[in-house]
Amino acid sequence: MKYLKNIYLTRWFFTTYVTVIILYVAAYVLPFLSNVANVVLASIAGLTLLDILVVFSSAQPLTVRRNLTSRLNLGEKNLISLEVENNSKQPISFTLIEGYPVEMQERSEKYDATLLPGYGKKIIYTFTPKKRGEFIFGNVHLRIRSIFFLVFRKIEIPLEQRVRVYPSVKEMKKYELLVFKQQRTSIGIKRIRRLGNTSEFEQIKNYVQGDEIRKINWKATSRKNELQVNQYQEEQSQQVYCIIDKSKSMEMDFNGLSMLDYAINSTLVFSNIALRKGDKAGLITYADKIGTTISAERSGDQMRRIQEALYNQKSLFNESDFELLYNTIRRVIKTRSLLVLFTNFETVFAMRRALPMLRRLNQKHALVVVFFQNTELQQLAYQPVQNSQEMYQAIVAEKMISVKSSIARELNQNGINTILSLPQELSVNTINKYLELKAKGSI
């Protein structure tokens, strides 16, 4: 009887009893309806009792299992399944309410189904996390009904499960495939011709059909009396650092993800490509103080270290200290490296305040400044104008877009490589710039 505290009445129960009351009231005018009301009341009371016995006949009529990995991808659709089985000896209708992590601010989804005795059902849905870090999927709540739908019973299934949301590994694998499987142009990654000044001599080998004539080594050919060619390999093991600004300027949201999240996803993609290209990848995060620092290495465990460092990065909600960043880089990075700085400038003044430190960094290293174009501003600027208010909004939005373009132009005039990118195109544009600089021998 301890389970009876979880009994609840359905709307159909109240509807039937309201019908009985109406029949009793009508019996004052039509007396024969009194007998009808008595029969209906007795029938409903019996069915209600039977319904209660059926619903509470088993202590655990349903079992539920949740299948999901302990590592979810940020901003990606992650497949999750719930397996429900009917352990009782009668059909059961139920409503299942999933226990999403509270921090995700997801509205609870309800899933309705009916199971015959001994049968099961798999409920599959996609979950798109909008935040990184560690979260808890809570217990699953069930509302169980029998075939009469007069009462229902609430059951809480203990399924608490801890998961971690990481920067998108799916995106990292996708770009790895596109870059190294010759499918690049379909998604915007350019095929960049290598200029030749970043190759180093590897060996002399026999000429085979297809080798370039200009690589024939005539001295070796004369000695061996057969054609010999020089073989070159791409210079490798160059240092590449991703530097992520965690200040309040990176907190603006686009499609549910902050600019910091886009920068982190792009860093994961870019670092993986750099390591696969034979370079050493490192990481620095900063705002008004230095956060994570991972020295550039090419070890097999480097990608895991970068991923673990990225998954729980939080905004510091303070202004960026570019002088501190410059002094840290000067102390930590001793050799010329490629520095990919993910930041955001909303005004020309903010850029000019950081410009002296950026120029000094660019003198010692190959610096690429990556900042964001506002997609919402573009929509406002180029949407059809219907009234004067929308016209003023479009003018202001277009002016703010031009400010971003002037910032990028001034950085380029100071010899600093610049990427002004839409958030969704960040990984593509960053990879293209990396391949371009590799081809030019700038690093």
Q: Is the pLDDT of residue 184 over 50?
A: no
3-class secondary-structure state, position 382: helix
Q: Is the pLDDT of residue 49 over 80?
A: no
Nearest to 158 by CA among 55, 64, 57: 64
Same domain, 286 and 314: yes
pTM as predicted: 0.68
Contact between residue 320 and residue 245 where contact means Cβ atoms under 8 Å apart: yes
pLDDT value, residue 327: 95
Q: Is the pLDDT of residue 196 over 50?
A: no
Pick from 122-126, 240-244, 327-331: least confident: 122-126
Same domain, 146 and 35: no
Q: Is the pLDDT of residue 197 over 80?
A: no
Contact between residue 343 and residue 371 where contact means Cβ atoms under 8 Å apart: yes
Pick from 65-69, 182-186, 273-277: least confident: 182-186
Residue with tokens 């979260």: 135
Separation CA 420–CA 204 (nearest Å):
44
pLDDT value, residue 83: 94
Same domain, 305 and 401: yes
182 phi and psi, to 5 degrees? 60, 35
Same domain, 290 and 415: yes
Q: Give me the CATH number covering residue 112.
A: 2.60.40.10
Question: H or E element: which one contains 180?
Answer: helix 169-180
- Model confidence at 218, pLDDT cuts 50, 70, 90, reads confident
Contact between residue 71 and residue 164 where contact means Cβ atoms under 8 Å apart: yes
Q: Highest-confidence range of 144-148, 159-163, 186-190, 313-317, by mean pLDDT?
A: 159-163
Residues ≥6 apart with Cβ < 8 Å to 409: none
Separation CA 316–CA 246 (nearest Å):
6
Name which residue leads in pLDDT, 201 or 168. 168
pLDDT value, residue 75: 81
Separation CA 55–CA 149 (nearest Å):
10
Q: Is the pLDDT of residue 240 over 70?
A: yes
Number of domains in the chain: 4
Same domain, 325 and 409: yes
Can you give the residue range of the structural domain that contains 9? 2-55
Separation CA 17–CA 23 (nearest Å):
10
pLDDT value, residue 392: 64
Counting Cα atoms < 13 Å in the Cβ hemisphere of 118 gives: 1
Separation CA 108–CA 125 (nearest Å):
12
Torsion-angle region of 133 (φ positive above 0: left; ψ -120 to 50: alpha; else: beta): left
Same domain, 186 and 218: no
Mean pLDDT (whole number) for 161-187: 70
Name which residue leads in pLDDT, 336 or 300. 336
Same domain, 33 and 150: no
Name which residue leads in pLDDT, 344 or 374. 344
Q: Is the pLDDT of residue 284 over 80?
A: yes
Separation CA 115–CA 102 (nearest Å):
30
Residue with tokens 């050493």: 280
- Model confidence at 243, pLDDT cuts 50, 70, 90, reads very high
Q: Give me the CATH number covering residue 376.
A: 3.40.50.410
Residues ≥6 apart with Cβ < 8 Å to 64: 82, 83, 84, 96, 140, 142, 157, 159
Q: Is the pLDDT of residue 358 over 90?
A: yes
Q: Is the pLDDT of residue 193 over 50?
A: no
Same domain, 269 and 350: yes
Separation CA 214–CA 218 (nearest Å):
10
- Model confidence at 329, pLDDT cuts 50, 70, 90, reads very high
Same domain, 101 and 248: no
Residue-wise pLDDT tens digits, 418-440: 999 988 888 889 988 998 888 77
Name which residue leads in pLDDT, 204 or 429. 429
Nearest to 44 by CA among 9, 89, 84, 92: 9
- Model confidence at 326, pLDDT cuts 50, 70, 90, reads very high
Residue-wise pLDDT tens digits, 290-312: 999 999 998 889 999 999 899 88
Q: Which two tokens stand for residue 351?
A: 């850029």
Mean pLDDT (whole number) for 263-290: 92
Separation CA 268–CA 307 (nearest Å):
7
Same domain, 432 and 319: yes
Same domain, 304 and 428: yes
Domain endpoint, select from 28, 55, 82? 55
Tell me the sheet residues that pair with 337. none
Domain endpoint, select from 19, 36, 55? 55
pLDDT value, residue 199: 54
Same domain, 249 and 304: yes
